[in-house]
Chains A and B, each alone.
Chain A
Amino acid sequence: MMVLTAERSDVARGKSKYAVIDCDIHPNLASPAALDPYLSERWRQHRQSIGGRGFSGSYYPRAQPNASRTDAWPPNGKPAGSDLDFMRYQLLDAYGMDFGVLQPLLGSGGQRNLEWSAAHAAAVNDWQIETWLNPEPRLRSGLVVPYEDGELSVKEIERSRYHEGFVQLMLAIRTSEPLGRRKYWKMYEAAEAYGLPIGIHFGGQGGHPTTGAGWPSYYVEDHAGMSTAFQAQVISYICEGVFDRFPKLKIVLIEGGFAWLPVLGWRLDAAWSKLKEEVPHLKRKPSEYLAEHFWVTTQPMEEPPVPEQFLEMLDMAPWMADRLMFATDYPHWDFDDPFEALPKVKFPDGFEAKVMAENARALYKLSGGPQASLHGMNGSARA
């Protein structure tokens, strides 16, 4: 991939050998009222009187306010991640990014009132278009869906899919039921029909203890243990036969780590070799579905104490070289720096370019550099 230096800011020029696409950026509301322009009168009143009601009792105080870097609070004093100019300065321009993919963490999908969940998701999507996607051609985002209800999710997909800034759906990894179960299939049917991958981000709350061993005590466990939630969902997707029913469906695991993927594939294959009569809908070995249907973002990148062990891990699942997509998690405290994140080892030819940008460019069909403006595309039909 040739990188046009004209596309790079002065700050970044010369520092990165590779184009960068950041697959996990968190935009924030400047204030709780920022969604009001996108809510009907009924739901504006609801927000002010009752407000959000998720599954309570699942909060762990973060390392920092908003889990954010202390230097990520914009000069205007608003919350980290809420100011586009400052995001350009501190992230998009600073690292000369070709594109960035937004993941708004505003809790739409985890609401117990499903109609409010749908109204909130729609408002977040309209806010994304107006505040981020239209003003900044380098940004793309996840189409937020009220994922605990299939019909309401389809309705929101039908309403918002026309904006080309939405390159995938956005779900959270902790859901009310394992994501392979049939209550979610209407959403997958629509996503497959419109060529939208299912992006699933760290977090969420489905009304259960967050592990099969009950509630953890500390944020450090909640955070490190999130990878177990991702593993459970991968198992569910494969064993429920979602990919036999929706063979073109693509799943993007965001902020769940990836070093666990090779061994999970072996474990599923070992279990399937003995228990396949229980799941006759599976036509292939579980690890083959894993290699065909899943993409993963890199942050928080697992860091072996011996950097070469990273190469050993890749050797255990070579398909990951085409599926790993770089992410910073800006503005959060555990930000991975595009210039420092990959271990300092001799990668196979082309690996860095693929991970830093090209895998994401191919998955999300991001053509050209940032000059390919989205202006004027609002409302035009997706091809």
Chain B
Amino acid sequence: MQQSTGALAPRGMDLGQAVIDTDIHVNVPSENALFPYLNDHWREYLRYSAFRLPTDTAYPKNAPTSALPTTTPENGTAGSSLDLVRSQVLDAWNVEVGILNCSYAAESLHNPDTGAAMSAAVNDWLVAEWLDKEPRLRASIVVPSRVPELAAKEVDRVGGHPGFVQVYLPVVSEAPYGHRRYWPIFEAAARHDLVVSLQFGGAPGNPPTGAGWPSYYIEEYAGMSQVFMSQILNLVVEGGFDHFPNLRMAMIEGGWTWLPSLMWRIDKDWKGLRREVPWNTQTPSDYIRQRMRFSLQPLDASPDPKHMRMLIDQIGSDDVLMFSTDYPHWQFDRPEDAVPAGLSDAQRRKILSENARAFYRL
């Protein structure tokens, strides 16, 4: 196959200030990396079952969208080397704080105890191999999201560590996360004042569209934004934000240019149907503006930069976007393209650092 993708090596730039990067992907390089963090039972289980790593098709290993050239270390997968993260992200972009997201796919493990044990091992690995070694890093807590009670237990186990700033939930799920079955996770997040994040991908076993399984990866990739939309609708109307007054949710790597159209649609429907969800005390778009934040990449940019400014204006708040590189994924060719052009100084400062600082209490 001819390689005409033209993906460039990751490059950063000085954006005129230190930035907060809300989406740096970190990957467990192999099952062996987790052995030190598993007890005898699970080490033996891994050995006799030849279980390696959970499967998710969200990030094909060598797809150009998954790993920029030079991001893969000699021994391991892209996003598994602290040295590379330091040189290619933290130093290259003058990152003040970078948040690690590990798409471990614990939800793809149907055995709830395995899901819980492996999630705990990943979190202990994150602490030992990343957070303890690099003070600029923070991380998201991997949880066995299929069983909310076990997920909440894991949040309580590690939520006190100052390096963990949010809970990681894969956006493709068995049921929308606003469902009350998931409230134990929100309760645990509230106990530790953590953000709850939804992130690109997920392998619960049900298809990523309402019409079944698409054929191509490009469809699954482009279609991921619809899964975010479905989650947002449910999160708002099911009442979690009303029930948990301090609940804050981050939408990571799902795009955001579709927000105005979603807000217009749900606000109109809510006018006609709000008696169905009487606990909602404000319009749905107000919950989104006040309680949700969105990572900047992917931009899915218009060829005309003025449209990006229009969309930010249509969202109706300068507080919702948070800078991200989405390292090691390929989102932009030139570092200059990482941030929409023509923003005001105040908008730029909020996006580059202040929105995330306030949201994550950094």
Interface residues of A (CB under 8 A from B): 63, 173-181, 206-221, 223-225, 227-229, 231-233, 235-236, 239-240, 257, 259-260, 262-264, 266-268, 270-272, 274-279, 300, 302-306, 309, 312-313, 315-316, 333-334
Cα-based distance from A312 to B314 in the complex (angstroms): 9
Instruction: Jot down 21 A-B pairs with beta carbons below 8 A, ordered by A.
Output: A211-B210, A212-B206, A212-B207, A212-B208, A212-B224, A212-B230, A214-B175, A214-B176, A214-B179, A224-B266, A225-B230, A239-B219, A260-B258, A262-B302, A263-B257, A266-B257, A266-B302, A271-B65, A275-B65, A278-B216, A278-B217
**Residues of B at under 8 Å CB distance from A?**
1-5, 7, 63-65, 171-179, 204, 206-219, 221-227, 229-231, 233-234, 237-238, 255, 257-258, 260-262, 264-270, 272-274, 276-277, 298-304, 307, 310-311, 314, 316, 330
Interchain CB contact under 8 A, B218 and A259 = no
Is the CB–CB distance between A263 and B261 below 8 Å?
yes
- Secondary structure call for the B interface: loop
Residue from A181, A235, A266, A279 in contact with B301 in the complex, judged by beta carbons closer than 8 Å: A266
Q: A219 and B171 in contact (CB under 8 A), knowing A211-B176, A214-B206, A262-B302?
A: no
The reply to whether B5 and A274 form a contact with Cβ atoms under 8 Å apart is yes
Q: For the complex, what is the distance from the CA of A316 to the CA of B226, rounded to whole Å?
A: 20
Known: A227-B265, A266-B302, A267-B300. A217 touches B64 (CB 8 A): no
Q: Is the CB–CB distance between A176 and B233 below 8 Å?
A: no
Instruction: Select one of A236, A264, A300, A315 contacting B265, CB under 8 A.
Output: A300
**CB closest chain-A residue, reference B3:** A277
Known contacts being A174-B210, A278-B216, A279-B216, is A217 close to B234, with CB within 8 Å?
Answer: yes
- Contact across chains for A315 and B273 when beta carbons are under 8 A apart: no
Q: Name the one of B179, B213, B218, B267 contacting A272, with C-beta atoms under 8 angstroms.
A: B218
Residue in A closest to B179 when the chains form the complex, CB atoms: A217
Most chain B CB inside 10 Å of its own CB: which residue of A175, A221, A313? A221
CB-based contact A216/B176 at 8 Å: yes
- Which of B204, B213, B221, B258 is A263 in contact with, Cβ under 8 Å? B258
Is B226 a contact partner of A279 (Cβ separation < 8 A)?
A: no
One of B172, B215, B217, B260 near A213 (C-beta < 8 A) = B172
Contact of B210 among A210, A257, A300 (CB under 8 A): A210
Q: In the complex, what residue of chain A is closest to B271 when comparing beta carbons? A: A303
Q: A63-B272, A219-B276 are in contact. Are A236 and B210 (CB under 8 A)?
A: no
Q: Given A213-B176, A224-B233, is A333 in contact with B227 using a C-beta cutoff of 8 Å?
A: no
B307 near A315 (CB under 8 angstroms)? Answer: yes
